[in-house]
Amino acid sequence: MDGHNESGNIHVHIVINSLRKYDVERQDFMERACDSRAGYKHHVSKDYLIHLKQSLMDICRREHLHQVDLLAPAEKKITDREYHAKRRGQKKLDERNRQLRADGLTPRKTEFQTQKEFLRSAIEDAAAVSCSQEDFQNLLLEKYNVKLKVSRGRFSYLHPERNKYITGRMLGTHYVEDYLLELFKENAEHKENKKQTVDMGKYNMESKKSATSPSNLLQEETVSVLFIKSDLRLVVDLQACVKAQQNAAYANKVKLSNLKEMAKTVAYIQEHGYNTRDSLEDSFSEIKSHASISRKELKSVEDNLRKVNEQIHYTGQYLANKSVYQKFVKAKNKGQFRQEHPMEIALYEAARKFLKEQSENGKLPSMKLLKAEKEKLLQQKKEAQKTYHYFRDYQKELNTVCFNVDKILGQTHTRQPEKQKSTDIS
């Protein structure tokens, strides 16, 4: 079982003799004539590694052990080097944060992120709303300062703090050109369907109130097509911007930018049919409520998934050490046998105790049923995340609109304005 990261995952080590002891039949993965003869060293090649992985998978399936597909490329390719770099970086960050807290300061950053993690996060965010390669490239550069290079049909990304590009293949299969181009195509088709099936100027409050859960809300066509993320940004407060007060040229640049954002905001509220500040605030409160409900639903699904994963872990631990424990039960000298196999017996007893406590009828759970339940929860989690992200992004956008409208009207920004005569903002 894993040691340093305390994850408890059961794994194996493959140990191979340096020299081949006996002559063996020639296999397809062998490249040289001596690769099957005794007295010669094993020649580790790509085909040989594939053969070893396939053999390991076959053995695990034969023994009814859980086995991931070792031959399929990973969606997120995290190498040992990146894994340990993150551990070291997180350790240093935690030590620095402890010193800051001791000095009475609040740390701004609590989770260390590798450069590859930053790229993956930026690519996922940009790809989710991009309908073309050009949109994707512009959004990466504008929002994350990440440059995209296309060479021989391959996508490569340049981190702001690096001088050398990182290829999409090094990040995982979800960051290469084929996957992303297909995603852009789906986004474009989805956006086109939205334009054809819904009027973006109205929000159907009746359909939202009749729904029973955020998942149902998002599944209804009248809701799922209402919100398309825009490029609206907050209007900058010149009075609170120190750089603008110190630099007149920068202040003029900010003023021009503010005028553009105000124009976009006016166009947004006209396009969506918000005639009063109160109607805009009502929509914001409605979306905020749905975002809170969907977040609770997502957390509930995640809690259930964590419990199932824990049951799968202990069930695997139980099955892995069951044979040793059966020998222990049949052993004549149980004390000596326990001394020889203390770890296996302790793990078996701990797993058995946990599973019995979790079981309602005293029966141990079936690994097959647990995996089926996990797949079901993973699908529910995916749908719940989609719902939550939808309402979260919608809430952020309406909050930006409310803030900009208050700046246009010269009012103090508040999410719950006092009841007063509605001000026409159209």
Residue 109: closest CA among 89, 123, 125, 88: 89
How far is Cα 227 from Cα 200, in angstroms, rounded to an integer?
8
What are 424's strand-pairing partners? 276
First to last CA, the chain: 65
Q: For the CA atoms of 180, 185, 186, 187, what is the dihedral angle to 10 degrees?
A: 90
| Contact status, residue 288 vs residue 402, Cβ threshold 8 Å | no
Burial class (CB in 10 A: 0-12, 13-18, 19+), 317: buried
Task: Record the tokens describing residue 10, joined without a space.
Answer: 């059961």
**Would you state the pLDDT for residue 239?**
63
Distance CA 327, CA 182 (A): 55
Residue 19: strand pairing partners: 41
DSSP state of 82: H
pLDDT given at position 227? 54
Report in angstroms the alpha-carbon separations of 147 from 75, 122, 137, 181: 21, 11, 7, 17
Q: Would you say the C-alpha torsion 380, 130, 222, 291 has a positive or negative sign?
A: positive
Residue 300 is predicted with a pLDDT of 92
Token duo for residue 121: 């996060």
CA nearest neighbour of 196 among 218, 217, 225, 175: 225
Cα separation, 367 vs 371, in Å, equals 6
Report, in this order, helix, strand and coil percent for the chain, each rounded to 5.
60, 5, 35
Strand order in the sheet with 154-158: 147-151, 154-158, 166-167
Q: How many residues does the chain have?
A: 426
pLDDT tens for the 426 residues of the chain, in order: 666 666 666 777 878 888 888 888 888 888 888 888 888 888 888 888 888 888 888 888 888 877 777 787 788 888 888 988 988 998 998 998 888 888 888 887 888 889 999 999 999 988 988 888 888 989 898 888 999 998 887 899 999 888 899 999 899 988 998 889 888 888 888 877 766 654 444 444 444 444 444 445 444 433 433 455 666 777 777 666 777 677 777 777 778 887 888 888 888 777 777 878 888 888 888 888 888 999 999 999 999 999 888 888 888 888 888 888 888 888 889 888 888 888 888 888 888 888 888 877 767 778 888 888 899 999 999 999 988 888 888 888 888 888 888 877 776 655 443 333 334 444
Give the pairing of strands 166-167 and 147-151: unpaired
pLDDT at 199: 45
Question: pLDDT tens digit string along 301-333?
Answer: 999 999 888 888 888 888 888 888 888 888 889
Q: Which of 83, 19, 33, 28 is nearest to 54 (CA)?
A: 28
Q: What pLDDT is attached to residue 258?
A: 78
How do 166-167 and 154-158 pair as beta strands?
antiparallel
Q: How far is CA 258 from the centre of its chain?
A: 34
For residue 231, what pLDDT is reported? 67
φ, ψ at 73 (rounded to 5°): -60, 145
